[in-house]
Amino acid sequence: MRVALFTETFLPKVDGIVTVLVLLMDHLIERGVEFAVVAPRIDARLTEYKGHPVISVPGVRVPFYPELTVGPPTLRTYREVQRFAPDIAHFIHPALIGAGGLLMAKRLGIPTLASFHLDLATLARYFGVGFLGPAVWWYMRRMFNAADYALAPSRRMQQTMLARGVREVGLWRRGVDAEFFHPRHRSYAMRCRLSDGHPDDTILLYVGRLSSEKQISLIRPALECVPGTRLAIVGDGPARPQLEAEFAGLPVTFMGYLSGADLSAAYASADIFVFPSAMETFGLVLIEAMAAGLPVVTSRVGGADDLVTPGESGYLFDVGDARGLVEGVRAIASQPGQREEMGQRARRFAETQTWPAIMDELIDCYTDLIAGRRPSL
């Protein structure tokens, strides 16, 4: 099997989409599946991934999302894809590269699969261009309906896509590396870093991009209303200066980007994971936190309803509901014994959501489409 992976974002950028893509590529290598990646040219030196070709597409940066580089594929792109001779094309949230790639795939006569990873219509609203939402959905509907089959990362997004007119939508959930994200990586030294030298306090943790749609400022009332709590923010982004000003004088530690052992230790060394985001297609950080043994207090976005059982492994609140967030944090922080039990339940659930099984389901989907069958996903 030979798979062409078309993506609008790629290494060296690190985000939820790239994380899933890297895990997919590593799994394809493990299963002996050949692949080529068609991606925006972010680093011209990146011409392969572990021996598999990376076909770069020139582009320009998106004004309201500068980490993204977009541009249409060129004739050179088509010729390189043609030389690779894929059996199937998988579009990691088709936009400009995806639009050209879909035309290439039709010309090559190969089946196509499109997976949903980024709610651009909602994102536009948080960058002051919400009036573009209907046009964005019109475009996405055309892209996903141009593919032979579409995949959503959560039941909530699957329902949204169907309601917006995408004809056939399967469910491809996200998984977790339950060994990398594990309670055993808990570290007193990391607790000291997260708490700025106050490891005995209750440490709230946020991991993700620092941007307006994440609504991180909603965590502030929890610090003001729940005694003994501190917040550690892992990640970076355009909203960091504003957040540093908003949280000035409060017990907040800005950790910047963490990766590898530091990231797994940060998850395991905190007490409660807090995630007030207003938009997610899944929310990969939620399942990572649960695998690390943390109870979760999260807004009802993305896959939160699929992951969190209220009162068992965490609490859910409506988007923008600061009171709901505070109540969830207070309920967990006030009972350390219950907090530990909820973390254990979160961990047990995460152990059922492993990447190998989920990626094998995707490979089965490839096989079905190549054979002309409707996928079982």
Extended strands (E) in the chain:
2-7, 34-40, 48-49, 52-57, 60-62, 65-70, 88-92, 112-115, 149-152, 169-171, 202-207, 229-234, 252-256, 272-275, 296-299, 314-317
pTM (predicted TM-score)? 0.82
β-sheet with 88-92: strand ranges across: 48-49, 52-57, 34-40, 2-7, 88-92, 112-115, 149-152, 169-171
Residue closest to 370 by CA, chosen among 148, 44, 103, 55: 148
Question: What's the N-to-C CA distance of the chain in angstroms?
Answer: 19
Query: From CA 150, how far away is CA 52, in angstroms rounded?
Result: 25
Q: Is 44 exposed, middle or buried (0-12, 13-18, 19+ CB in 10 A)?
A: exposed
From first to last of the 377 residues of the chain, give the pLDDT tens digit: 999 999 999 998 877 789 899 999 999 999 999 999 999 987 878 999 999 999 999 877 766 566 667 778 999 999 999 999 999 999 999 989 999 999 999 999 999 999 999 888 887 887 788 899 999 999 999 999 999 999 999 999 999 999 999 999 999 999 999 999 999 999 999 999 999 999 999 999 999 999 999 999 999 999 999 999 999 999 999 999 999 999 999 999 999 999 999 999 999 999 999 999 998 989 999 999 999 999 999 999 999 999 999 999 999 999 999 999 999 999 999 999 999 999 999 999 999 999 999 999 999 999 999 999 999 88
Stretch (H or E) spanning 45: none
Domains along the chain with CATH numbers: 2-175+354-370 (3.40.50.2000), 183-350 (3.40.50.2000)
pLDDT at 339: 95
Q: List 299's β-bridge partners, or say none.
A: 317
Please check whether residue 56 is in contact with residue 25, taking contact to mean a CB–CB distance below 8 angstroms: no
Distance CA 50, CA 26 (A): 9
Element (H, E) at 283: none
Rounded to the nearest 10 degrees, what angle do helices 96-108 and 75-84 cross at? 50
* pLDDT of 26: 97
Q: What is the predicted pLDDT for the residue at 44?
A: 79
Two tokens, residue 284: 């990969």
Determine if the peptide bond prior to 58 is cis (ω within 30°). Answer: no
C-alpha distance from residue 100 to each of 47, 59, 240, 254, 266 (Å): 20, 13, 35, 40, 40
